[in-house]
Amino acid sequence: MLKKTWSKGLAVLALAPMLALTACSAQGGKQPDANAGGGGQAVSTPKIKVALITHAAAGDTFWDIVRKGAEQAASKDNVDLLYSGDADGGRQAQLVQQAIDQKVDGIAVTLAKPDALKDVLKKAQSAGIPVVTLNSGSDVSASLGAFTHFGSDEQLAGEAVGARLAQDGFKHPICVIQEQGNVALEKRCAGVKEKEPNTEILYVTGTDMTSVESTATAKLQTTKDADVIVGLGAPFSVTLLKSVADAGSSAKVASFDLNAELAQDIVDGKVIFTVDQQPWLQGYMSVDALWQNKLGGFKLGGGKPVLTGPAIVDKSNASDVLKFAQQGIR
């Protein structure tokens, strides 16, 4: 499955909602944090301004990792990084418009809800602002004006999970979607279901972890033959461990994405595996690609997405991954 993934794009071998953009980059010439990956002094090129605008929901630690990668690239590249996020597509579009109004030199944006962003991204094109996309929306990225996309193929990532579950003998997965209408999340569960047709979809309110826990608990209590429950993000999968215990279920927990707590749970055998899309790289490469474009008109990817995953993390390699997760790099 992973061989198939690399054939569809370039493998990367290098390396509360806001209504206003806020600067968060290091000043040029400062030494980057050696623990954050990379290193060396900032470049001597003129400072530029880049906006990174995500669909981050409050409390989702995944985006902290994306942001750290972006900040590391900003430190190296002498970039003023303006980071903002909003899970609502309309408000995310407003943030893109604010970046255009600030005359930034580049925009990196996620496309979880591309229909809400297509008009404002046309305005970015008209303003001559280069755009890259990351994390979600790889299939519509080019059509919306981005010169490249950094992320995992969500359908293939879901299929990798489904294939692994089938290989391990699981027959009745429950795939938990924390944000209805998010195209990337829908594709993940569709991929799982492609390989394991008995997969059920469960929608929860991802902005309320108490509700996530109670909804999943109720589902497990009424679905006695469910043998694995799949979270689509590390914080949600950690919460699903509580649901399994609350329900008195024997179901195992699998996951997408990664943080230090989830990596430790895999090491400890509490979570069977996760599929990592390497979000630190998504943030880093998005900012770095915009700097390279400003520097010499360079465009990575040849018009195709640059893949940062999927990469399976299980008990065989989780200890190695954990040390990076503890630094916030994975």
**pLDDT score for 110:** 98
**pLDDT score for 41:** 64
- Give percent of the chain with pLDDT exceeding 90: 78
- Give percent of the chain with pLDDT exceeding 70: 88
pLDDT tens column, 117-159 = 999 999 999 999 999 999 999 999 999 999 999 999 999 999 9
Quote the CA–CA distance of 210 and 212 in Å, as a whole number.
Answer: 5
* Residue 95: both structure tokens together: 């943030």
Task: Report which of 214, 268, 263 is spatially closest to residue 242, judged by C-alpha positions.
Answer: 214
- H/E segment holding residue 309: strand 306-309
Neighbouring residues of 270: CB distance < 8 A, sequence distance ≥ 6: 241, 253
**pLDDT score for 330:** 73
For the chain, domains (ranges, CATH) are 7-152+278-308 (3.40.50.2300), 154-276 (3.40.50.2300)
> Facing residues of 314 across strands?
273
Number of other CB atoms surrounding residue 46 within 10 Å: 10
**pLDDT score for 278:** 92
Judged on CB neighbours under 10 Å (0-12, 13-18, 19+), 324 is middle
Whether residue 262 has pLDDT greater than 70: yes
**pLDDT score for 65:** 92
The DSSP 8-state label assigned to residue 31 in this structure reads P
Whether residue 199 has pLDDT greater than 70: yes
44 vs 66, more confident: 66
Q: What is the mean pLDDT of the chain?
A: 88
pLDDT tens column, 275-330 = 999 999 999 999 999 999 999 999 999 989 999 988 899 999 999 999 888 877 77
Whether residue 39 has pLDDT greater than 80: no
List C-alpha distances in Å: 118 to 51, 113, 218, 237: 17, 9, 38, 32
**pLDDT score for 324:** 84
DSSP codes of every residue in 42-94? PP-SPPEEEEEEE-PPTT-THHHHHHHHHHHHHHHHTEEEEEEE-SSHHHHHH
DSSP codes of every residue in 116-182? HHHHHHHHHHHTT--EEEESS-TTTTGGGT-S-EEEE-HHHHHHHHHHHHHHTT---EEEEESSTT-
pLDDT tens column, 174-194 = 999 999 988 889 999 999 999
Report the pLDDT averaged over residues 87-91: 95
**pLDDT score for 325:** 82
Quote the CA–CA distance of 165 and 167 in Å, as a whole number.
Answer: 5
Whether residue 32 has pLDDT greater than 90: no
Whether residue 68 has pLDDT greater than 50: yes
Judged on CB neighbours under 10 Å (0-12, 13-18, 19+), 47 is middle
- Sheet-wide strand order for 200-203: 200-203, 173-177, 228-231, 252-256, 273-276, 311-314
CA 110 to chain centroid, in Å, comes to: 9
